Amino acid sequence: MIDNINLLILAPYLNIQLLLDGLFIGAIFVLAAYGLALVWGVMNVKNLAQGDFVIMGGYIAWQVGVWGINPLFGLPVAIVFMFGFGWAIYYLVIRYVIERDLFTSLLATFGLALVISQVLNLLFGPEVQIVDSGFAVRSIPILGGEITVSEIKFLSFLMAAALAAAVVLFMKNSRMGQAIRATAQDARAAKVMGIDTERVYAFTFALNAAICGAAGVLIAMIWNIQPFYGMTHSIRSFVIVTAAGFGNIPGVIMAGLGLGVAEQFSGFVLGAEFQQATVVGLLVLVLIWRQIQSSRHRQAVI
């Protein structure tokens, strides 16, 4: 461990490599986590099928690649398809659990996750698949060393950022975005004001599915996908949203990027086996800190 820290000090370019790798991957986590925060905040539904939406997006990219088209074009396909899919799932499942307690919505979405992963397994088989975008890998000399950046990772980062920005602008400026925010604040009041909250919910859920689909396309191009990998991505989204707190978009972005970077550094210093332990450990720390903060807050109110 000390050796590895020494290595980071002796060869500073390694820090940049780890930082970049962490940011690139963190940006994609942010997308799925943002969608989760959206649904959680607006509808109070905790979507355990989040990761499976991501994997669905991945398979869309894969399928597009199989057709001989560059999987990057899978991005619009995934967004449109997943939007429709999300809309359908809302009317088939989510609509019935939205008013129920937490447990019901968790069960329903967990069931959804199982069904999606099994259907993917039947359609595409259980093999680990990768999607090759055909982009090159660049070696960049920096700080007396050389780092490698695959173009697709960089491109994914830009796309994730653009998507996130588009969604934020949409929420701020569009009519639907305003309706979504109004519904999140107070669904009954929104209804009284003439907002069709049912439609808002359907749109929110569909938007979330579309964001996840986009994230999935990017994940498939830089990692690999398999029908049963969804849960990992769900858990990661939950960790990010929990760490950031709801309704806190900058928080989600910071937490997502931060976790990506923390993972890379802990993997380097402590070994790959601690990569995920670090993420969970950080979450515990954040929660403890929150607890302390809120207990202080409560005392002040009393």
Q: Determine if 104 is a binding residue for other proteins (CB under 8 A).
A: no
Closest to 185 in 3D by CA, of 203, 197, 198, 199: 197
Residue written as token pair 């790798």: 21
CB of 286 to other proteins, least distance (A): 20
Among the listed residues 148, 185, 293, 295, the single contact to other proteins using CB under 8 A: 148
Contact 227, 120 (CB under 8 A): yes
Q: Is 271 in the site for other proteins (CB under 8 A)?
A: yes
**Which residues, 6 or more positions from 242, have their beta carbon under 8 angstroms from its beta carbon?**
283, 286, 287
Closest separation between CB of residue 74 and other proteins, Å?
A: 17
Assess 17 for contact with other proteins (CB under 8 A).
yes
Which stretch in 9-17, 88-96, 200-208, 209-217 sits in contact with other proteins by CB under 8 A?
9-17
- Decide if residue 265 touches other proteins (CB under 8 A): yes
14 binds other proteins (CB under 8 A): yes
Q: Which stretch of DSSP H or E encloses residue 188?
A: helix 187-192
Is 127 one of the binding residues for other proteins (CB under 8 A)? yes
Q: Among the candidate windows 7-15, 54-62, 85-93, 206-214, which touches other proteins by CB under 8 A?
A: 7-15
The secondary element (H helix, E strand) that includes residue 146 is strand 145-150
Please write down the HEC assignment for all residues of 84-138.
HHHHHHHHHHHHHHCCCCHHHHHHHHHHHHHHHHHHHHHHHCCCCECCCCCCCEE
> Which of 66, 107, 115, 130 is close enough to bind other proteins by CB under 8 A?
130
> Radius of gyration over alpha carbons of the chain, in Å?
20
Which stretch in 57-65, 108-116, 117-125, 201-209 sits in contact with other proteins by CB under 8 A? Answer: 117-125
For the chain, the 3-state helix, strand and coil shares in percent, each to the nearest 5, are 80, 5, 15
Minimum CB–partner distance for residue 44 and other proteins (Å): 28
Which CB sits closer to other proteins, 50 or 266?
Answer: 266
Interface residue with other proteins, options 73, 81, 228, 246 (CB under 8 A): 228
Kindly report the backbone phi and psi dihedral angles of residue 301, in degrees, each rounded to the nearest multiple of 5, phi listed first: -65, -45
Binding segment toward other proteins, per CB under 8 A, in 158-166, 186-194, 244-252, 259-267: 259-267
Q: Which of 252, 253, 275, 255 is nearest to 264 (CA)?
A: 275
* CB nearer to other proteins: pick between 184 and 215: 215
Given 185, 232, 293, 294, the residue binding other proteins (CB under 8 A): 232
Q: Give CA–CA dist 50/60, Å, rounded.
A: 16
What CA–CA distances, in Å, run from 144 to 35, 37, 140, 221, 243? 40, 42, 10, 30, 36
Between 12 and 245, whose beta carbon lies closer to other proteins?
12
> Can you name the residues that pair with 149 across neighbouring β-strands?
138
Binding positions for other proteins, rule: CB under 8 A: 4, 7, 11, 14, 17-18, 21, 25, 118, 121-122, 125-128, 130, 132, 137, 139, 148, 150, 153, 223-224, 226, 228-229, 231-232, 263-268, 271-273, 275-276
